[in-house]
Amino acid sequence: MIGRLNHVAIAVKDLAKASAVYKNALGANVGPALAQPEHGVTVVFIELPNTKIELLEPLGEGSPIAKFLEKSPDGGIHHVCYEVDDIIAARDQLKSQGARVLGDGTPKIGAHGKPVLFLHPKDFCGTLVELEQV
């Protein structure tokens, strides 16, 4: 079912500061800040040879990142995103196995303009999993 690791997401309080760390200390190729109000985040993507890093800052009220940062004020790895060929087939297979698909199960459009879904961390080794159809 899952294919490539599309990105590893890191929640941060200050996106500009975190972007500067990756750019200046790690020499990373840091992209522009993209507001994603429907997801309650502003994101920056960092292209790596084999995957991407997604830096996430809370945006607006009720951001899922805000609650995460309350527990982890310094930030931390928020989720991993795996690529799938068919997100509906993947969703239905996972639901038939009893996995919790977050939200109402309808894929949203993610930062790359592709359908995404999230799976409850409690069902996947304590790690929030995002699936992105490519």
Ligand X SMILES: CC[C@H](C(=O)O)C(=O)SCCNC(=O)CCNC(=O)[C@H](O)C(C)(C)COP(=O)(O)OP(=O)(O)OC[C@H]1O[C@@H](n2cnc3c(N)ncnc32)[C@H](O)[C@@H]1OP(=O)(O)O
b (16+ CB within 10 A) / e for 53-69: bbbbbbbeeebbbbebb
Burial class from Cβ neighbours inside 10 Å (0-12, 13-18, 19+) for residue 113 reads exposed
- Where would I find the beta strands (DSSP E) of 48-105? 52-58, 76-84
How many Å apart are CA 12 and CA 1, to the nearest integer? 30
Question: Can 130 be counted among the known catalytic residues?
Answer: yes
Min. distance of Cβ 70 from ligand X in angstroms?
8
Binders of ligand X among 56-115, rule CB under 6 A?
A: 56, 64, 67-68, 78-79, 81, 102, 110-111
Q: Which does 31 bind (CB under 5 to 8 A by kind): Co ion, ligand X, none?
A: none
Q: Which C-beta is closer to ligand X: that of 49 or that of 113?
A: 113
Q: Which of 47, 54, 83, 130 is catalytic?
A: 130
**Cβ atoms within 10 Å, residue 91:** 21
Yes or no: say if 47 and 30 are a contact pair by the CB < 8 Å rule: no
Q: Is residue 54 at the binding interface for ligand X, with CB under 6 A as the rule?
A: yes
Min. distance of Cβ 85 from ligand X in angstroms?
17
How many Å apart are CA 46 and CA 115, to the nearest integer? 20
Q: Is residue 130 at the binding interface for ligand X, with CB under 6 A as the rule?
A: yes
Q: How many residues of this chain interact with Co ion, rule: CB under 5 A? A: 4
Stretch that binds Co ion, among 3-11, 23-31, 32-40, 100-108 (CB under 5 A): 3-11
Min. distance of Cβ 97 from ligand X in angstroms?
18
The residues annotated as belonging to the active site are: 130
Residues that bind Co ion (CB under 5 A): 9, 54, 81, 130
